[in-house]
Structure formats: structure tokens, C-alpha cells
Amino acid sequence: MTTLNETIYDESKILTLSSLEHIRLRPGMYIGRLGNGSHPSDGIYVLLKEIVDNSIDEFIMGFGKRIDIRIDNGAVNIRDFGRGIPLGKVVECVSIINTGAKYNDEVFQFSVGLNGVGTKAVNALSESFEVSSYREKKQFSARFKSGELETKPITQDTNQSNGTKISFTPDTKLFPNYSYDLGTIRKQLWNYAYLNRKLTITLNGEKFKSENGLLDLLNEEVNDSNLYQIVHCQSGQLEMAFTHTERYGEEYYSYVNGHHTNDGGTHLSAFREGILKGVNQFFNSSFEGPDVRDGIVGAVAIKLQEPVFESQTKNKLGNSDLRSWLMPLVRDTFVDFLYKHPEVAEPLKQKIQANERIRKELNNVKKAARDNAKKSALTIPNLKDCKYHLGDKHQSAEESTVFITEGVSAGGSMISARDVYTQAVFCLKGKPLNCHGQGKEALYKNLELYNVMKALGIEDSVEDLRYNKVVIATDADVDGLHIRNLLLTFFLQYYEPLVLQGHIYILETPLFRVRNQKNTLYCYNENEKDVAFEKLQNGTHFEITRFKGLGEISPKEFGQFIGENMRAVPVGVEHTHEIPDLLNFYMGNNTADRRQYIMDNLV
């Protein structure tokens, strides 16, 4: 056996990969996470988006007013009616990195895809990929398999309108058991529609079109819960809209060149600062940022010729020179709106003053909570932190995870099985407070919830979140589900942005262990148990174990369920205006209504 020191390093070990081979070898560098479609950031949605982005770029440049998308059994077909890829360069544009017209400002002035990778990555990561370009009554078509040209391209006459059609099926070797969630895609397509007024997009025949841009977006999200008329302005390369509701925290939708920047960036920072400056200039005041922004729901979209993103997946804008012109533009545009709409100014000022009053009242409550916490412990009770937060920061912040679990028995197994560098465990003591309908002071008066806030680092701001993933890990019984709902109520009522930004997850752990002398299978539902039973029942020493709680799973077993193959379901919200009614029904005082709902829906 060859040891590490005996490995020969010579010319034979130097490899040169083609660009598409490199994409297949290191897909995460190009599309982020792979996934199976259960999370909006999973790679199959990135593949879809990369192709649609190109069609959007055509619309932005004034070519093509419709994009048709069909998804059938995991196969995607996208047809736009733009200019079509120049016929002599079709193969190069979909298979050779750093090839394309996005480098030419005359052809594409405001594009997201500036590095010539997107379509090539889709080609490389698809088991089948076909492109057709239609220009001037000619059609050029080429087929690929795993990024390799499969057949000789074909050129023929056609009566089809100009444009491009791309069909692809993600490679099941890279995306096993994937499926597209049409609800996730609908949300993406509405974003495209809001940002590109008058563009019509269809998904399997369903139409997406907006006449009023970001105003339509905010109307959909706040659904009449706004405290004053939505501020909606457009000036040059900027479109923005915002209002306030009675909800806690801040909620933003930010975009660059039609692309949704999930993690914000410099444009969102300039937008937030511009609103603060505008308020203080108009009211000749010195309000503080948290008072101006608490309860805000806003959207900002800008167009840039040279956007700089912090990763290939373009989730966060990094242009450092943006603030110098965008912040004053937001400020002046907002102030101008207030002078033209004085009916907005008074309710806006009342909301800010109410926020200021509540913040000052909370300061005393916070101080008392901190004093009590200091008396009980110098460190956060029941938190077993990871080494990332204990000074050993060779891991990235994106890898950090905290599990919130019920009781020390389940926590004990997790603590023994976890990755000590990136995974932390917080053990609850009993059931947390049902905080639905209570003011924020309740969080500081309840020691358990205060400790949760302190452990997560969100006592003062969600921006201080210490972990990228917060995973709720409770038993799959009535008590466990109740605790899960109480924690979800805590996050949705007071820390909604953490949910919207994709930080909150629910851990799935197996309900059954089916094994014989040779094999062991873990099953997450009755159907999986039945399949495992059929597969293993012929063996010797056959047994089926039903796990009653997380504490019954040994540390050795638990390591499989919180490692690379962890099943963590992201908590998502389709429309934020639905949250108050949802919480009121499930966590409010309407016990009779809930009981009747359960009786009516018993299977």
C-alpha cells in the first residue's frame, strides 16, 4: 500500500482539463450547492436561471417580448424570441468558456452574465443538452451529452421567428433523485416579471406579466398591510419601492440587472442608508437607523454595466464604488417623492416615532435580561459551541450550523456525533414560550428564549447571526412537533428575515431502522420501511426498530444523519403577508377552530 509520503509527484501527475471537464469535476465552483430541488438555491434552479437570464438580456436590449418555458419530468425547454445566437458561433457559445457577446457593451449593456460561464455550465452538467438558434429564416441546431458534442450540427431553412431554444435534462449522476418544484420556479418567474415590465413569461402555459414593476411586487407581498401608500420611484438606473407594516424586522428584495441578489450587497446597503438619510433630511431630524427601518418592506433594482459579484452564483453584489452615487440618488429620489406626496409623510413619521419609543422601552428590559443572564452563568447555558466560534476559524462561516434540540438526551448524541469544527448544539429545557401575539419584551423576560437569542447572536440584530444554518431538531412525536411549532412561531414573529433568507431548517431523522445480519437501512417514513422490509426480510436476525425519540439514536448512528447526507428541510414562506393569519390560526386562542380543522382533515 502506498503511503502519503511515497506518492510520486512528477510530470505524469499534471492534468489539463477542458473547461467543461473542469465544470463537471468541480460543479460547486460554478453553481454552488447541488441538491435535489428541495431548496430554492439548489443547482437545478441555477441551471434554469442561467438560460432564462440570457433570454432576459435579449428583452432588456429591446428584442423579444415573450419567453416560453416548459418543464416535463425534469426536462426543461426554454424558447425566447430575441435575436438568436449568431449561427456560426452557436457551438462555441454553449461549450467554450469565455466565449460570448456579453463582453461587448454595444450588444449587451446591462447583463448579469459577464464571465461567459452560465450556459456552458448548464451544458456540462446536463445528461442531454440541445440548442437551436433561429435567425433570418435559418435554423442551426446542435446536440450535446454531458458537455460533449453528440452529433454533427445541422443547418436548415425555417419559418420560425428569430430567437433561441434550449432544452436540457440535468445529469442524474450529479443531481440524483432531483425534481423541480414549480412553486419555487413560479416565485423566480414573478421576480423576472416584476423587474421587466411588459415582458410575458409562460411556464407550462401559465402566464407571468407585470405592468407596474416593483410596485406590483410590494403590493403582492404586503397585501394591504402597509401603513401608508407604497413609495415607488424610478430614476435612471434605479427603481425602488418600500413601505412599513406592523411586522418586526426588515424585509428586502434586491436586484441587479434583473437578477435577484438573495444576500443583498453594496446596492442594498446604499438603499438602506439612502432611506435613513432621506427621512432625516425631509423631517430635519436625527432618527436612528433601526427606528427608521423596523417594519420596513422594500425592494430595490439597479442596472450596472460592470457588476461585481462575490461568487459565480451572483447572490451578493460587491461593487465598492456604488455607494458614492447610489445612496444620494436614493435619498434625493425619496425626498422628492415625499414633497410630491405629503399624505405619506405623517404616517411614516408616526411609525418611526413609535419604533423609537418601543426601542427605548426595550432598552431597560434588555438590561435586566442581561443582568439576570450574568447571574446565572458566564457562558450561554446549554450551548455546546463549535470551534469556528471558539477561535479556530479555518472553516468558512457558510459551513457553520447550530442544532436546536429538545432536552439533553438528544443533545448528548448530537454533541458526540457532530463535526466539532462547524456544528454547535443548543439544548432546550422543556417547551419554549408560545410568543404569538406578545410584544418583543416577552423575549427578554423569558430566560429560555433569551438564551436562544444569545446563542444565535441575534439579541440586537439579525445581521449578527452567528451560524449560517439554524436547524430545529425535535422528536417526531406530538411533543416534538409542538416544540417545533413554538420555535417556528418565535422565528416567524420576531425574526422573519432569517426565514426569508433561508437560514432556518428542520432536521429529518429516521423513524425506523430495518436490519438483518448483513445490512442496515434507515427509513424516514412508513413507505421506506415497507420497501426495506421487502428487501431485507430474507436475511437472518431480521429486526425493525421504531425510534421514539432522538435520544434513542446512538452517537455512531447519528453521525450519518447530521453529516454530508443530512436531510434538512428549509423553512420557506411563499408570501409574507400570509404569516400573521397562519400564526393566528395555529398558535392563537382559537382552540375550537383548530380542533374542528383536525377533525375535518383526519385521514
The predicted-structure confidence for 215-274, as pLDDT tens digits, reads as follows 999 999 898 889 999 999 988 889 999 999 988 888 999 998 877 888 888 999 999 999
| Residue 220 counted as domain residue | yes
Report the candidate in 460, 494, 229 with the shortest Cα–Cα distance to residue 367: 460
Interatomic CA distance for residues 184 and 200, integer angstroms: 18
Triad 370, 371, 376: Cα angle to 5°: 95
Please report the pLDDT score of residue 1 as a whole number.
46
Looking at 208, 241, 262, the residue that finishes a domain is 208
Q: For residues 461 and 464, what is the distance between their CA atoms, to the nearest angstrom?
A: 6
| CA atoms within a 13 Å half-sphere pointing along the CA-CB vector of 82 | 27
What is the DSSP-derived secondary structure letter of residue 464? G
Domain membership of residue 436 (yes or no) is yes
Q: DSSP string spanning 524-576?
A: SSHHHHHHHHHHHTTSSS-EEEE--SGGGS-HHHHHHHSSTT-EEEEP--S-G
Residue 14 resides in a domain: no
For residues 432 and 308, membership in a common domain is answered with no
Residues 200 and 162 grouped into a single domain: yes
Of 65, 50, 61, 63, nearest in space to 110 by CA: 61
Q: Which residues of the chain have pLDDT under 70?
A: 1-22, 98-117, 311-314, 372-379, 388-397, 539-540, 602-603
Does residue 77 share a domain with residue 109? yes
3-state secondary structure of 184: helix
432 and 304 within one domain: no
- Distance (Å, whole) CA 578 – CA 499: 14
Q: Is residue 397 part of a domain?
A: yes
Nearest to 578 by CA among 221, 298, 216, 294: 221
Return the CATH number at 299.
3.30.230.10
Say what the pLDDT of residue 130 is. Answer: 95
Across-strand partners of 472? Answer: 404, 506
Q: Which amino acid would we find at residue 316? A: K
Q: How many C-alpha atoms does 415 have within 13 Å on its Cβ side?
A: 16
End of a domain among 193, 208, 223? Answer: 208
Answer yes or no: do 95 and 196 share one domain.
Answer: yes
Residue 109 near residue 305 (C-beta atoms within 8 A): yes
Written as nine digits, the cell of 504 is 432556518
Answer yes or no: do 398 and 292 share one domain: no
CA distance 320 to 269: 11
In a domain, 470, yes or no: yes
| C-alpha atoms less than 13 angstroms from C-alpha of 425 in its C-beta half-sphere | 22
Is the residue at 239 inside a domain? yes
State the sign of the Cα–Cα–Cα–Cα dihedral 77, 81, 82, 87. Answer: positive
Same domain membership, residue 587 and residue 448: yes
Is the same domain home to 536 and 496?
Answer: no
- How far is residue 305's CA from residue 420's CA, in Å, rounded to a whole number? 44
Residues 67 and 124 in one domain: yes
pLDDT the model gives residue 478 = 82
Whether residues 542 and 560 fall in one domain: no
DSSP letter (8 states) at residue 518: S
Residue 193 belongs to domain with CATH number: 3.30.565.10
- 226 in any annotated domain: yes
Rounded to whole angstroms, how far apart are CA atoms 464 and 48? Answer: 32
Type of residue numbered 364: N
CA distance 95 to 404: 45
Residue 94, in any domain of the structure: yes
User: What is the model's pLDDT at position 107?
Assistant: 44
Directed axis angle between helix 323-340 and helix 266-282, to 10°?
Answer: 40
The CA distances from residue 16 to 6, 19, 94, 147, 161, in Å, are 23, 9, 20, 17, 41
Residues 396 and 431 in one domain: yes
Give the structural domain span for 529: 512-546
Q: Domain boundary residue among 321, 356, 391?
A: 356
Q: Are 545 and 510 in contact (CB under 8 A)?
A: no
Count of domains for the chain: 4
Say whether both 223 and 201 belong to one domain.
no
Phi, psi of 477 (to 5 degrees): -130, -175
Residue 165 phi, psi (nearest 5): -125, 130
DSSP-assigned states of every residue in 395-430 = S-GGG-EEEEEEHHHHHHHHHHHS-TTTEEEEEE-S
Which pTM value belongs to this model? Answer: 0.76
Give 390's DSSP letter.
Answer: G
Instruction: Check residue 104 and give its pLDDT.
Output: 45
